[in-house]
Each structure stands twice: as C-alpha cells, then as structure tokens.
Structure 1
Amino acid sequence: DRPAFFMIKDGEIKNKLNENQNIIVEPTSGNTGIALAAMGRSRGYRVILTMPESMSEERKKILKFFGAELILTPADQGMKGAINKALEIVNETKGYMPNQFSNPANPYSHEVTTGPEIIKQMDYSLDAFVAGVGTGGTITGVARALKKAFSECVRIVAIEPSNSPVISGSNPGKHKIQGIGAGFIPDNLDLNLVDEIMQINDEEAIEMTKRLAKDEGLFVGISSGANIAAAIKLSDRMGKGRRIVTIAPDSGDKYMSLL
C-alpha cells in the first residue's frame, strides 16, 4: 500500500494525474495493483491494470472488486507481457503509468517508513534483513535506511525463485512464488546494497506457508513463506543470538486456489 500511495501522490505533485489526466495504467502481479486500484478509485481515477493470466483467481477477483479494469496477458510472456500491454494502453489513453519497477517513489516509500519502523521496533539492534525481490522497492528502500543506521554491520539478503534465478545471472523460468521473480532485474533493485542472493524453490515456499498456518496460526502468502524459509536458513547459518528481520507482504487468502 505504501508504494502505491507514494507513486499516486508523486503523479499528482508532478501534475501527471489531475482532473483532465485521470487514468492510471499499471502492469501488476497483484499486491501493488490491488493498492493502486483501492487508492486510485477512491481518489476518483480510472484504473486499468494488466496482469499475466497465470496469477491466482483470488487476486483477479479482488482487483475487479475494487473497480479496476483488468486485462490479462499470456502466461508464457510473464510480467514483460503485462508491461508491454500496459505501455500500449498508455499510448492509447495517455494515462499515467506509475511503473512500480522503476519509479523512485517506490523504494523511497520504504526508505522513509518501513526501514525506520524496523529500526525502532528492533530497538536499534539488527544483524540481517531478508526480502524477496519483486519490484525491488522493498529491499532497496529498507536497505538504504538500514545501511545508514548500521553501516556495513547489517547483512542484506535478496530472495529469488530458484526456478527463475535472474538476479543470480541465469535465465528466467516459470515458478509458483507469485509476487517475486518477475523474470528480469528491475531498475529499482540496487544490487550495491545487497550482500547475498539466496534462492528458494517453490516447494520450500509453499511448505513453509502451510507450516506457518498449521503450527503458528499465521496465514501468509507464498512469497511470505519464501521470505521466512530463507530467514530460517540464514539464521541456521549465522548461529544463535542473531537478530534477523523479514517481511510477510500479504495474507494467504489470495492463494487458496494454488495451495
């Protein structure tokens, strides 16, 4: 929700969104699109979203419920297909495309809110931060705040699907961890801030998602399962007493058809 709010406000401040230019167009795999739909419609904008057809049915229904116009793109084209379709619509409608993958307002939202909140809640003591890479906004923004506070003492670990290890230098591929692993390295990902790239496979992420629900009463999404599985791996490696933070981006109700 934070990146969506910051990107909409940025568009309004720069007069890219106003009474005469009142269309938001954005490619999405789900979460940012949901926030853009909710906030955009509540501010009186028309919201058109493009999404790979392989995304969960729950996500599609939520987007429509918030009043977004949803256009599905072929699954085999991944997020690149959704991006290309969004660009076509922008050319046709002259709408405003926040472009969550490259808009600086995305990581900035986490640099000034999420990062400082983590620092405060961890009582100014932290050893590592673990996060999956979707747009790159969360890990880049939080890492900026943490590196400023802790210098090089804090370890930043980026997570990507093992079936699509693009950040590690391999080819994109199909995977089931929706929300991360877009199939390309986003402009908003600042690799200079990243100390380690860790790969998590579909089975690890889904199994952790189910385990958290059954054993901990935490109903989180699949990318949350990937983050927590990675954080546990890192904890085992770093040893007892280390303070490691990760993020659960959403709940599991968007993924019931996939679990």
Structure 2
Amino acid sequence: MLDHIGSTPLVRLDKLFSQDHVTVLAKLETFNPSGSVKDRIVKHIIEDAERSGVLRSGGTIVENTSGNTGAAIAMIAAIKGYRAILTMPDKVSQEKQDALRALGAEVVRCPTSAQPGSPDHYVRRARDIAASIPGSFMIDQYDNPKNAEAHYLTTGKEIWEQTGGEIDYFVASGSTGGTISGIGRYLKERLPDLKVIMPDPVGSIYHDYFNTGTVDHGKIGTYQVEGVGEDHIAECMDFTVVDEVLQFEDADAFAMARRLARQEGIFAGGSSGANLWGCVQIARRSDEPVTIVTVLPDSGLKYLSKFFSDRWMKAQGHDISS
C-alpha cells in the first residue's frame, strides 16, 4: 500500500478550459491509497519519526485534521499497528468521519466556531491529548517543515517531470501550506519566472496576512469549504513562494467542483473546486499562450452529503444551476 503513494496522473482539462491558448493540467491526488494528497506528507513524517526513534512500535499518533490527513494517518496506523486519535472541526463531512472510524481511528469532534488557542479548538485539543499520553507522537502538519518537504521531494518533482518544465502558473489553495509551499519552492528553483497563485476562502486569515503582513482577527470567519484557509498562521506556510492570493466564496468552489464532475468526469472535492476557480481567474486575464498546473487534493466521494447534494446546496442558499 505505502509503495503506491505518489506518482499520480496529470491530466489536461479540455472542456472546462476550451480556449486554444490556455492549457490547464490537474494533478489527480485521489489516486493515492487513502484518496488524497495527504498520504504523501503522513508517510514522509511517520517514516522520519520511526527512523529517529520518536515513534516506536505500538505507539499512539495524535493529530488535528480536516479529514484527509486523518484518513492517511488512520490507514498507515492500521498498516503499522499504531493507535490513532484524531481531532477535527464539526463541519467536517460525515463521510470523512465515518471513514476514519472504519479504519480504526478514534475521532474527537470540536466546534468549528472555537477560537484558536481555546481548549475546544481542534488544534489545541490535539495538543492537550498528546500531552496526556506518554510517548505519543503528533504529525504536527501545520508547523512541521517535513510537510512541505514531502511535496518538495515528491509532488513538485513529479509535476516538473510530467510537464517537461513547461509551466507558467501553479495554482493551489492552502491550509497547512505544505502543498503550495513545497511544490512552489521546487518549481520556482527551476523556473524563477513561474507565478504561484493561492486561492483563499473569505473568512480565512491568509489573504489579508499576505497583503498586509498583519492579522485582523475581526475578519476571521467560518466558511464551508473543507481543507483550505485557516484561522491562524501555520508555520509550514511559506509566503515567500506565493505571488498572489485570490479570495473566493464557498459558492465559487462548489460550483467549480460540480462542473468538473459533469463536464470532465472527474469527481473531486471542494478544495479542488477552489483551485480550479483560481485557474479560471488566471485564464481570463491571459491573452498569450499559458500553461497552468493545479492540484486536485481529494475525491468528491467525501462530500456526497454536502455540496454534491442538491438538497444541501439549496438549504445553504447555493445555486445548483451551474
């Protein structure tokens, strides 16, 4: 199973982007064993912890997650015989929660509205649990530099080889920042003129922080897209590789994910929709031939009860005509 992490396909999206001068290539991370891009970082971090002796046989892995990192942890913990305890915001889809439990993980749900640093916040809760269990190990995906390193060593290298280095833009939203930071650094070291674009949901901290260098807590809010944006600055997020941050609404991401399924036959999650929305913005402003690469982090199967449900979309006030 672990040997099949990575080496995911890169496909051209011809129907969503039919302009002759625009090429959009999407990395399909749902082909990883647990169904998301997070398999890469969890494998890399756990193997490093095993080599260093920080994580020992029969140990406990604790982590805060929006679901995909948790699924990767639960899968690898099952394979290797570790106990897994995972904290998550209660907005996380029921499909994700059920998958973690099916793989044997213990799930602790926390209020999405909990403020960073409060005992009920899912990041703080994970740290408190880890501190209470002797010898436990945290993946620490938000602040662990091994997160971005995993993408630098694997995903970035794969994209470079699959495109032959013919890339003008790389588009990826971020939460921990590992994907955009690792891939962005790898590609920019080889293509200094490459532009890295980061879509960010309204309510996330990153857009204002990127543009002002300060944090306005009054602008932090809740949003429905899972796995992107953040309410605190993750140490893993490297803004030096980012050229522009674009704000999107939940409806933008959901509409693009639904269009992707119906027009390209690719079933992907809300973060994929956000990334494709970002690609649309770049395509619209481009008059010359341009190649845009993005990542589709996970599968739409994890969101059947949410934005792929017409009933849910209508209840949330979202348009289902697109």
- Identify the TM-score tier after normalising by the shorter chain: over 0.9
Change beyond 3 A, Cα 1:185–1:238:
farther
1:135 Cα offset (Å):
0.8
Give the AA of the match of 1:5.
K
Q: Deviations over 1:167-217 (max 9, x none)?
A: 423422111110001212211111111111111110110111111111221
Unaligned runs of 5+ in 2: 1-38, 210-215, 308-322
Q: Is the 8 A contact 2:91 2:224 kept in 1?
A: no
Gaps of 5+ in 1: none
For 1:210 and 1:79, locate their aligned partners in 2 and report how far apart those are by CA, in whole Å. Answer: 32
Deviations 1:17-70 (Å, cap 9, x if unpaired)?
1136x0000000011111011012211100000011111101100111111111
The aligned runs of 1:1-259 (5 Å cut-off) are 1-19=39-57, 22-77=59-114, 81-94=121-134, 95-151=136-192, 153-169=193-209, 170=216, 171-259=219-307
SS in 2 for 1:258: coil
Larger relative contact order (CA 8 Å, sep ≥ 6): 2
- 2:54 is paired with a residue whose SS is coil
- Of all paired residues, the percent bearing the same amino acid is 37
The 3-state SS of whatever aligns with 1:63 is helix
| Aligned-residue offset at 1:239 | 2.7
8 A Cα contact 2:205 2:232, kept in partner:
no
Query: Would the aligned equivalents of 1:52 and 1:73 in 2 still touch at CA under 8 Å?
Result: yes
- Higher helix proportion (structure 1 or 2): 1
Secondary structure in structure 1 of the residue aligned to 2:66: coil
Task: Kindly tell me the number of residue pairs found equivalent between the two proteins.
Answer: 257
Superposition deviation, residue 238 in structure 1: 2.5
CA distance in 2, matches of 1:41, 1:99: 19
SS of equivalent to 1:245: strand
TM-score, with structure 1 as normaliser = 0.95
Shift of 1:164: 2.4
Q: Secondary structure at the match of 2:131?
A: helix
Distance 1:34 1:232, change over 3 A: same
